[in-house]
Structure 1
Amino acid sequence: MTSESLQPVTGPSRRTVVATVGAAGIAVALTACGSGDSGDKDTSGPAAAPGTVLAKTSEIPEGGGKIFTDPAVVVTQPTAGTFKAFSSKCTHKGCPVTSIANGVIVCPCHHSEFSIEDGSVKHVPATSPLAAVEITVSGEEIKLA
């Protein structure tokens, strides 16, 4: 055997591997938490049929609301006897909103906040309001229109 056949196999240096992995991690983070709204998210309203009963009026707290997953709707009662409904998908990246507190609907993904009165943006990064969903109130039932 010659000394040429015993040469060690070399690959990228540790520094190169660490730098590449770090750059890939930053790229993933920037993609997952973009700086603006993108057009590839679905923030439309519910897929349920008109007439679907969502809740009883007594289930929606005054000054708050309730989030439904199927269909993806938030029903609020900003003032006594006034009911509003919005898509529960955040307009920033399409994450589902998960809570309602202090007059706002909150998205946990990037902390966007929306008004319970009209769905308008109260805290960015979202720049578009939640889509309004048509509802009817008949007696004690709140239904999709």
Structure 2
Amino acid sequence: MTGGGKIGGGREFATFGLQGSPSGGNLEWVQHCPDGRNASSTVCVSGKFTFHGTVTAGTYAQGTAGPNCRTWSGTGDSKQIGAHGFTVVQGCDGGEPGRGVDYIEITIDDYQNSGYLTGGNIQLHRSTP
């Protein structure tokens, strides 16, 4: 599975790039919070951060949301929040590229974000389980 895109909108959105397979993978995640920390927000409570994660443990497997979804986990680092574990809870290829088709849900320790892509594409490659 490979992909990249954007979820959210307005002044609180995230952009990402990902690659996952049985032999490994990675995740680049940028939480954009132009207004800074926002205690009433579900995604900007800690403000903006950039995270790079590499699959170091766990499995790459079919997700619970259907046959075109995958899940994987690992550890990574962020200058703003330090070293942490992450899980791509669901990366789902909902079909050909288009707004509101593909879905991503991730956790980075206490941070959680999910939604249908408002831009970009997630692609499940049939050559990988």
- TM bin, normalised by shorter chain, reads 0.3 to 0.5
Rg larger for:
1
TM-score (norm 1): 0.31
Which protein is richer in strand relative to its size?
Answer: 2
TM-score (norm 2): 0.34
Which protein is richer in helix relative to its size?
Answer: 1
